[in-house]
């Protein structure tokens, strides 16, 4: 009686003979030890040989920043600063901001007083900036 290993080897030989009779390429299957050794050798080879890095063509197209890997679109663009706003727009902003600050002052002592104080401080900062731009 054949052992399991002998049976597998004879079956593999029969399969190889069949494939060759059909004109197909055939190799004898590897044993477990051979397979492990081949995998280990492949892993060692991949550790030694790091593939060269691909050039990054998007750096030329998008000099200010990167790009979204999935879509390939730039997520940073050159922006031109525009400081040309009409005097009427600035005056309108200052008037509205002042009226908003007056409305918010009644809510300072309420439950959300801290938030209201920060809102007032931000609005006053904006008013000062607008007045500074108006005067210059």
pTM greater than the 0.75 cutoff: no
- The reported pLDDT for the residue numbered 102 is 93
- The reported pLDDT for the residue numbered 119 is 94
Residues 92 and 114 in one domain: yes
Residues 91 and 128 in one domain: yes
- Domain boundaries, position 108: 87-135
Residues 128 and 108 in one domain: yes
Can you list the residues of the chain whose pLDDT is less than 70?
1, 28-29, 48-51, 55-83, 136
- The reported pLDDT for the residue numbered 124 is 94
Residues 38 and 8 in one domain: yes
Number of separate domains in the chain: 3
Separation of alpha carbons 107 and 1, rounded Å: 96
Residues 32 and 71 in one domain: no
Residues 41 and 17 in one domain: yes
Structure tokens at 25: 């390429």
Residues 95 and 122 in one domain: yes
């Amino acid at each position: 009686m054949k052992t399991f290993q002998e049976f597998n080897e004879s079956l593999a030989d029969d399969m190889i003979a069949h494939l060759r009779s059909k004109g197909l390429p055939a190799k004898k299957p590897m044993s477990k030890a051979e397979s492990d050794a081949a995998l280990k050798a492949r892993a060692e080879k991949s550790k030694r040989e790091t593939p060269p890095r691909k050039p990054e063509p998007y750096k030329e197209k998008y000099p200010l920043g990167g790009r979204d890997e999935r879509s390939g679109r730039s997520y940073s663009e050159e922006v031109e600063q525009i400081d040309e706003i009409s005097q009427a727009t600035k005056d309108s902003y200052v008037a509205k901001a002042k009226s908003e600050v007056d409305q918010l002052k009644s809510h300072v002592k309420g439950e959300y007083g801290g938030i209201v104080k920060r809102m007032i401080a931000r609005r006053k900062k904006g008013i000062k900036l607008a007045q500074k731009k108006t005067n210059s």
